[in-house]
């Protein structure tokens, strides 16, 4: 039977043969294409026609003009006025100033964007391009993350980064004013740091029990608390990484050193991570307690009380029944994951969704083919731990999305974007497995290039055949 070292040698040899790809040139090409498409979305999407953009913009404006954080109050959400704004495509005579229902959000993104607001006198485009820049940072983190997990498979990293870079709905959201892109950056950085934390030490200079090793995880969890609630999955991801490391280095699991640390010593990273995170986010949480009360440190209860008139799942259940509700949930989630623009009012044409459904089925089939392929080299222990970590992150995002929809009707695929890293890796593994059947070797590169060109064309179609004609005044 092969051991882990033998398996890694075989995977190294096979993947080196299959992936003779220069490392930086393809990534730079992906970033250039992403930036060009992001700028097109930012320029050609009419003002405020990205979901919740006016509320995020007003949060930034309040900080820039008042030098303080806003407080969510009754009246900040007016369903009738919001429907009028979106229905009339935000006419200039209707002010967006009353739209302030995002005032409960954690402040990090808005604090970073406020200097841009002042520098460009509140212009919308620079703020949108700031989000595009955050999206580029996300792609570089995703590339590095997959390289850490599959160090001898650079093509996987390029495919994963490319799929995220060319996802139309993600591009449209990243080209708007919101805190989504920063949340995804923080989550991806947490996953990358957790993967590195799980790597076996390379020398005696970096022992498994080093007190400094959990420090970056604590910093990132604190940043996640200050960014967006959808990024709060960073905390359980960090704790799971600690748990996996404890399992490997104590008597409860396989040892990676001759002298495993005592259990109580292994648990030291937990209070360190929590302590650093609370040190960063504590002042904001304390401020919320002073404003919203001890029972509502995140302002979520105040938000639920303010958004009167927002459709609730119980109402839709009574109206459509379980069957109708589930069908609407699945259909709208799928369509808006790939592309349903404006305030969910600009879908793509049905044939496009049918083609995307076929492509999605192909990705799932390829991933299952990879997963159950007996010829596939057995993953090393760090790879197995990393894949478990990514699967947990994806399940966490799916669970929070389903939980949110138990209360509010929010059938929007963009709420699954915090799981884009594991989803993109799964899709990359599927595409890599499927393309492995293509001979000769240059045919594989040609097929992947054709796929990328098709996704670029899809984005251009979305911008100039959907967004511009349907949303322009």
> What does the pLDDT look like over 367-426, one tens digit per residue?
999 999 999 889 999 999 999 999 999 999 999 999 999 988 899 999 999 999 999 999
Tell whether the model's pLDDT for residue 255 goes beyond 80.
Answer: no
Q: Report DSSP state, residue 377.
A: P
Average pLDDT over residues 313-321: 92
Non-local (6+) Cβ contacts of 103 within 8 A are 55, 58, 59, 62, 70, 71, 72, 73, 76
Confidence of residue 459 (pLDDT cuts 50, 70, 90): very high
Res 233: pLDDT? 96
Average pLDDT over residues 434-448: 88
Among the listed residues 182, 218, 183, the one whose alpha carbon sits nearest the alpha carbon of residue 197:
218
Q: Tell me the range of 256-260, 269-273, 364-368 where mean pLDDT is highest.
A: 364-368
> Does residue 463 or residue 260 have the better pLDDT?
463
Tell whether the model's pLDDT for residue 203 goes beyond 80.
Answer: no
Res 199: pLDDT? 85
Count of all residues that appear for the chain in the document: 473
Angle, to 10 degrees, between the axis of helix 124-149 and the axis of helix 180-198?
20
Give dist(CA 232, CA 229) in Å, integer.
5
Q: What is the mean pLDDT of the chain?
A: 90
Confidence of residue 210 (pLDDT cuts 50, 70, 90): low
Q: Which two tokens stand for residue 395?
A: 């399940």
Res 38: pLDDT? 98
Of all residues in the chain, the percent with pLDDT exceeding 70 is: 89
Contact 160, 30 (CB under 8 A): no
Give dist(CA 201, CA 169) in Å, integer.
40
Res 110: pLDDT? 98
Res 109: pLDDT? 98
Contact 370, 429 (CB under 8 A): yes
Average pLDDT over residues 278-302: 96
Q: Which two tokens stand for residue 319?
A: 């109206």
Q: Which two tokens stand for residue 224?
A: 């996640």
Average pLDDT over residues 351-358: 98
Write out pLDDT tens, residues 403-417.
999 988 899 999 999
Tell whether the model's pLDDT for residue 268 goes beyond 60.
Answer: yes
Res 202: pLDDT? 58
Of all residues in the chain, the percent with pLDDT exceeding 90 is: 79
How far, CA to CA in Å, does 160 sit from each of 223, 383, 438, 452?
A: 25, 16, 19, 12
Confidence of residue 250 (pLDDT cuts 50, 70, 90): low
Res 273: pLDDT? 95
Average pLDDT over residues 155-168: 97
Contact 396, 229 (CB under 8 A): no
Confidence of residue 310 (pLDDT cuts 50, 70, 90): confident
Give dist(CA 145, CA 425) in Å, integer.
10
Write out pLDDT tens, residues 109-151.
999 999 999 999 999 999 999 999 999 999 999 999 999 999 9
Tell whether the model's pLDDT for residue 262 goes beyond 70.
Answer: no
Res 307: pLDDT? 87
Map residue 60 onto helix, strand or coil. helix
Average pLDDT over residues 277-291: 97
Give dist(CA 364, CA 186) in Å, integer.
27
Contact 164, 420 (CB under 8 A): yes
Res 249: pLDDT? 73
Write out pLDDT tens, residues 48-100.
999 999 999 999 999 999 999 999 999 999 999 999 999 999 999 999 999 99
B/e letters for 229-250, b = 16+ CB within 10 Å, e = fewer, are: bbbbbbbebbbbbbebbbebbb
Q: Look at 26-35, 322-331, 376-385, 414-423 and tell me which has the smallest mean pLDDT.
A: 376-385
Average pLDDT over residues 161-185: 98
């Amino acid at each position: 039977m092969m051991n882990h070292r033998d398996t890694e040698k075989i995977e190294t040899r096979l993947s080196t043969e299959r992936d003779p790809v220069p490392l930086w040139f393809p990534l730079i090409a992906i970033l250039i294409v992403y930036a060009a498409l992001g700028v097109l979305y930012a320029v050609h999407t009419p003002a405020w026609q990205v979901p919740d953009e006016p509320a995020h913009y007003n949060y930034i404006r309040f900080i820039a003009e008042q030098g303080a954080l806003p407080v969510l109050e009754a009246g900040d959400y007016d369903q009738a006025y919001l429907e009028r704004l979106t229905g009339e495509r935000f006419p200039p005579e209707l002010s967006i100033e009353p739209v302030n229902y995002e005032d409960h959000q954690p402040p990090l993104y808005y604090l970073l964007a406020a200097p841009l607001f002042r520098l460009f006198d509140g212009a919308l485009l620079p703020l949108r391009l700031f989000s595009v820049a955050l999206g580029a940072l996300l792609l570089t983190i995703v590339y590095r993350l997959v390289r850490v997990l599959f160090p001898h498979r650079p093509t996987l990293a390029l495919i994963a980064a490319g799929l995220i870079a060319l996802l139309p709905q993600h591009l449209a959201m990243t080209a708007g004013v919101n805190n989504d892109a920063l949340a995804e950056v923080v989550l991806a950085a947490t996953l990358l740091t957790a993967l590195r934390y799980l790597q076996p030490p390379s020398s005696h200079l970096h022992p498994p029990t080093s007190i400094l090793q959990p420090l970056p995880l604590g910093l990132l969890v604190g940043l996640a608390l200050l960014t967006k609630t959808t990024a709060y999955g960073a905390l359980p991801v960090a704790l799971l990484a600690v748990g996996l490391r404890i399992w490997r280095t104590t008597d409860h699991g396989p040892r990676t050193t001759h002298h495993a640390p005592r259990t109580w010593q292994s648990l030291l990273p937990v209070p360190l991570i929590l302590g650093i995170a609370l040190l960063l986010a504590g002042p904001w949480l304390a401020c919320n307690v002073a404003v919203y009360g001890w029972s509502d440190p995140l302002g979520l209860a105040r938000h639920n009380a303010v958004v009167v008139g927002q459709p609730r799942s119980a109402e839709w259940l009574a109206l459509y029944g379980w069957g109708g509700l589930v069908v609407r949930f699945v259909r709208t989630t799928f369509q808006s994951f790939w592309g349903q623009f404006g305030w969910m009012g600009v879908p793509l044409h049905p044939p496009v969704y049918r083609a995307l459904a076929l492509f999605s089925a192909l990705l799932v089939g390829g991933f299952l083919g990879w997963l159950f392929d007996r010829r596939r080299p057995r993953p090393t222990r760090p790879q197995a731990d990393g894949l478990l970590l990514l699967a947990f992150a994806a399940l966490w995002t799916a669970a929070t999305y389903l939980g949110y929809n138990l209360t509010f009707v929010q059938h929007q695929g963009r709420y699954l974007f915090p799981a884009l890293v594991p989803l993109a890796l799964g899709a990359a593994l599927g595409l890599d497995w499927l393309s492995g059947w293509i001979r000769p070797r240059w045919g594989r590169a040609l097929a992947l290039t054709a796929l990328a060109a098709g996704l670029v064309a899809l984005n251009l179609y979305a911008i100039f055949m959907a967004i511009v004609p349907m949303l322009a005044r």
